[in-house]
Every structure is written in structure tokens, then in C-alpha cells.
Amino acid sequence: MADQRVAIVTGGSGGIGRASAERLGADGFAVVVHYAGNRDRAVAAAGAVTGAGGRAVVAGGDVADETAMAAVFDLADSEFGGVDVLVHTAGIMPLAPVVDLDLDTFDRVQRTNVRGTFVVDQLAARRLRPGGAIVNFSTSVTRLQMPGYAAYAASKGAVESLTLILARELRGRDITVNAVAPGPTATPLFLDGKSQQLIDQIASANPLGRLGTPTDIAETVAFLAGPGRWVNGQVLYVNGGAA
């Protein structure tokens, strides 16, 4: 299957990452499901792809570690023959007001979310085949200005800048670079630590009257990874009209 397209999905053990891996698998991609800490969930995600008739392997590593992430790209090469698409969903979201946030936590957010994006985007820029796509992840909080999200939103503002500049730097390569900016989405990352009352309040504030689902976000990922070739250097707000 030398002509099969190949995708790496970072954070593939998480809600949006797993949904994206499964959707790309259904679209015919061979998928490398990356995980940082939860190998069992990554294996389950890969199993969902192979169980539906697709091809998938798992790979672990810290997204901010260039050696570990180079090994993920190497695995894609050895298992599937190359890489066409990077879907970079991996990230962390500790929340606290600016006045209270521990600076070590701030540094950890920037290392994972900013350096991690730079590391995997750099590898993708060097190694993706023509016709490929880089799909980074931002957040609608960069528009919503929600208290408590300053460190996270700051990191994602940096991701947006990196995305827009890299798209221009890859002129002539036939590689698109975009960022998906979800709104409130029913994933463990979002739901953790929130009361049901707060979750219901956030859901009801959306014009469509609900939270997003990982599948909603994966639809946009699949579009950018596949037919959406004329969308490049953009941040797509995928939030049901929340912002």
C-alpha cells in the first residue's frame, strides 16, 4: 500500500486526538497514534482503527523532546513509508487566575504547548511529503477571554502565530498549515474539575445549545487533512458559534 497516506496524531490517546485518529483511519489513512503518558488508551485508539479495517501503530514520547518526537516520525517511516499529515492535538490546560498561578506551572504549560508545537511542526516541515498538511490546535478561549485561562490562552496565541508564519515559510512545498480552535468540548481535559451546574451553564450559552464533541472537531481535522487544500494559513474556530 505504497500510495496510502499516513498521519501522525499527537495526543492520540485523548478525546479529540482519538476521534481524529479514528476518523482519519476511516478516511483511509495509516495512523501513528502518539501518547505522552497513557499507553493503554493509545493502544485502544489504535485498536479502534485496526478493528475497522485500518492500519495503526502507537508511539510514546514527550512532545517537547525533539529526540523522542523524531523517533515517532521515524516509526511512521519504517512502518508506513513516510508521513503526509501531522495532527497535533497534544496539550495541557492547568487553570488559575494570573495572580495565583504558580510560575512552574506556567513554564510547564509553555513547554508542552508552545515548545511542543514548535518541535513537531519543525519535524513535519522537514519531513512531510508534498500534498501534506499540518493541523495544529489552538482554542476559542483566545477570543473568549475567560478568567483563569491566561497561561493556556497565551500558549495557544503563540501556536496561532507559529501556524500562520509556517504556512508562509512552506511556500512551494504543497503543504498546508492551519490551526483548529475548538470551543468548549466534552473531553476529560475540559470536564475535569467542573461542576455539572457549570458544564450545563456553558453548554446552554452556545447558540446550538450543547457542548462540542470530539467527533465534531474530528470532522474539521479530516477536512483539513484531506479535501481542504485551498484552506491554508488559517485559524478555524470550531465552536458552534460560541465566539
Which residues are part of the catalytic machinery? Answer: 152
Question: What residues does 133 pair with on adjacent strands?
Answer: 85, 176
Question: What residues does 134 pair with on adjacent strands?
Answer: 86, 177
Cell, residue 156: 495557544
Amino acid identity of residue 201, one-letter, is Q
Amino acid identity of residue 87, one-letter, is V
Cell, residue 202: 456553558
From the list 112, 190, 69, 193, the residue with the least C-alpha distance to 104 is: 112
Cell, residue 160: 496561532
Question: What residues does 185 pair with on adjacent strands?
Answer: 212
User: b/e for 80-112, b at 16 or more Cβ within 10 A?
Assistant: bebbbbbbbbbbbbebbeeeebeeeebeebbbb
> What's the chain's length in residues?
243
